[in-house]
Amino acid sequence: MGYRLLIGEKTIEREEYDGELVEHIYAKEIENDQAPDNGIGYKDNTRSPSYRGWWEFREATGSHDLFDELIKEHPGCVDLTRDHLETLVKIYNTYKKKNKQSTDEFVNYNINRLEWLVFWVEWALNNCKNPVFVNR
């Protein structure tokens, strides 16, 4: 089990369930040739890390506070702000500088994941009317 993370334009789908109208909040899934592929070959705005993998990533990069805010609830959706981007950029720069000599595969994976996050958060802020970080 794990998360399904999406970064992009807020999308609301409504459906009737047991006689009640239920709203599901998503982000539109898209691909972008300019996006980093996170080392796995995909250029889209979605990722599906395991709960443990995400926890280890947060521990290694020192991004607890940021992701406690972005993943307040599971499933959930948080509106993105410039502050989120600035925090991500600081985390990325600090982690990359601290580990610049590392050849550890786990470290490189974390750097790739941070690059992916920075790219898509910045893209969403610059291109979306309602930029969001969704986990489901």
Give the H or E element holding residue 81.
none
16 is written with which tokens? 């009737």
Query: Distance (Å, rounded) from C-alpha 87 to C-alpha 114?
Result: 11
Query: Distance (Å, rounded) from C-alpha 45 to C-alpha 50?
Result: 17
Could you list the pLDDT tens digit for every one of the 136 residues in the chain?
788 999 999 999 898 888 888 888 889 899 999 998 766 667 899 999 999 999 999 999 999 999 999 998 888 999 999 999 999 999 999 999 999 888 898 899 999 999 999 999 999 999 999 999 999 8
Q: Reduced to 3 states, what is the DSSP secondary structure of residue 119? A: helix
For the chain, domain boundaries: 5-135
Q: What is the pTM of this model?
A: 0.92
